[in-house]
Amino acid sequence: MKIVIGSDHAGFELKAHLAAFLIEQKIEVADLGAPGEIFVDYPDIASAVAEKVSRKEFERGILICGSGVGMSIVANRFPGVRAALCNDLYAARMSREHNDANILVLGGRVTGKDLAREILKVWLESTFQGGHHQRRLEKIESLDEKIRHCRKK
């Protein structure tokens, strides 16, 4: 598995920690920034990661900003992206099992390193359950087409 990861300055330290964890797990990581704790605008990083997932260049992505909220808002504007802000293990598992989330979003200022690593581990190990959840995903995907149609008007 290959994962694309990105953060703003507020998420840089947690991003570095999680990238190292992924590499330990023999998972290939593509880091799209921020390169350090220099100030960057989270929409730039979120859109770069979400675009890669939307285009299916990567199966999954990880985004980290101060709270996780800004990254979530930006990422979910991209077709086919299901970014989930997860602050606990239950949300991480459900985001995969019920929503087939393909981008994990974390808050670098609200989630400790150990908990973030556990959230990531659960998110990676959980699989989409399908069934009636698939029908719901299809409805979400149909909204992508509806939104594209509205934007053309």
The catalytic residues are 65, 98
Structure tokens at 122: 């659960």
Contact between 99 and 133 (Cβ < 8 Å):
yes
Residue 32: CB atoms within 10 A of its CB come to: 20
Give phi and psi for 89, each to the nearest 5. -65, -40
Residue 149: CB atoms within 10 A of its CB come to: 9
The residue type found at 134 is Q
